[in-house]
Structure 1
Amino acid sequence: MATQIFTLVGVLIGALTSYFATVVAERAKFRREMATRWDERKLDTYIQYVTCIKEIQRAALEAGRAHDAGTDASDALQEMEESENRRSILFETFVLLSNERAATAAHTVNQQTWKLLRTARVPSNGMAEIRPIPLVEALNVLHEAARSDLTISKAVVVR
């Protein structure tokens, strides 16, 4: 009788150990899947946001060239405004998904973008007044923060 009890206890301990090991493994798998899912969504949002910024910058520069040439800049300004509207919507998703460092960098990019927009909207401002350099510098900081948030390291160049 004692051997049967020991056998039964051994089977019970084995079953419980197997159950807990499976639960721990499934939880770890679920966490990895969720992290991957959100990282993919973050990456898509980051790419779309930066693309809008680049479209705004390009359209602002086109508007500046048009002002310098004395031609109509309305198409470039309209494209710039459409990109700004998309950027505004994407920014909300960006902030919801990103870490604090990336969100702060995106706020700085927004401020530099708004300066560029204000300058490009003035009909008398041409290329000399439109300076995208502060925006480019802010984008570089944002790129670094986004890579850090996504745990993407910089590629090492071997020579």
Structure 2
Amino acid sequence: MTIAAVLLGAITTHVTTHLIERARHERQLMTRWDEKKLDAYSAYVGQVRASIYAAVLVYEVREQMRTVPRSEHELTMDLTDASTAQGLAFERVMMLAGDSVIEAAHAVQEATAAIGWQARGAVAGTLEEWRELHATAFAAINRFHECARVDLGVSGAFAGEEHTSRGLLLPDARGHDDREGC
């Protein structure tokens, strides 16, 4: 009887240790994947913003709203490079993200593509339509942020509409800047 109790204790200890080690290993894997997701999500948003900034420069130079020491062709090539880097970052998100994050990233891709098309002159549009494209893009970026936060288990939220309007730093009209100093 004593031998059976010792044997049962040894088996129980072995099984318990095995289960604890397996759970620890699974937690480590989840943490590692969450770190990779966070890196991919933040790199993607950084590339999206770089693409938008490059598009703004192309658009403003093409529409003669700004002068810069570089040609429109050079700026367009920068936009092409930024769009390529954004596409690569998007692919990384596709490899790591859940469905809601992927859908949100697709919306960002569509919105930023529309900005790029108008910036290059491939699609005609007014300044007001240009501003609307940016509002749509920033709303899509905010949705991506929300989905990524949920995917990563980050608690808390931000006011989406209020936050969206803060990211829209575009001129009001050609050659006019009615903003007052602080």
Length-normalised TM-score, structure 2: 0.76
Larger radius of gyration: 1
Could you tell me which runs of 5 or more consecutive residues in structure 1 were left unpaired when the two chains were aligned: 1-5
Percentage identity across paired residues of the two chains: 32
Is 1:59–1:80's contact at 8 Å kept on the other side of the alignment?
yes
- AA aligned to 2:147 is A
CA–CA distance in 1 between the matches of 2:99 and 2:122?
37
Cα 1:62–1:127 shift into 2, 3 Å: farther
Q: How does 1:11-50 map to 2 (within 5 A)?
A: 11-50=6-45
Could you tell me which runs of 5 or more consecutive residues in structure 2 were left unpaired when the two chains were aligned: 159-182
Is 2:59–2:120's contact at 8 Å kept on the other side of the alignment?
no
**Higher relative contact order (CA closer than 8 Å, sequence separation 6+):** 1
SS of the residue 1:119 aligns to:
helix
CA–CA distance in 1 between the matches of 2:15 and 2:123?
71
Cα 1:147–1:122 shift into 2, 3 Å: same
Q: CA deviation at 1:91?
A: 1.4
Q: Alpha carbon RMSD of aligned pairs, Å?
A: 2.1
Cα 1:124–1:37 shift into 2, 3 Å: closer
Q: Which runs of 4+ in 1 moved over 4 A?
A: 123-127
Is 1:67–1:123's contact at 8 Å kept on the other side of the alignment?
no
Cα 1:61–1:126 shift into 2, 3 Å: farther
Of the three residues 154, 158, 161, the one matched with 1:152 is: 154
CA–CA distance in 2 between the matches of 1:101 and 1:34?
21
2:174 corresponds to which residue? none
Aligned length in residues: 151
CA–CA distance in 2 between the matches of 1:123 and 1:13?
76
Cα 1:80–1:137 shift into 2, 3 Å: same
CA–CA distance in 2 between the matches of 1:116 and 1:68?
14
1:56 corresponds to which residue? 51
Length-normalised TM-score, structure 1: 0.87
CA–CA distance in 2 between the matches of 1:125 and 1:65?
14
Q: CA deviation at 1:133?
A: 1.1
CA–CA distance in 1 between the matches of 2:123 and 2:95?
38
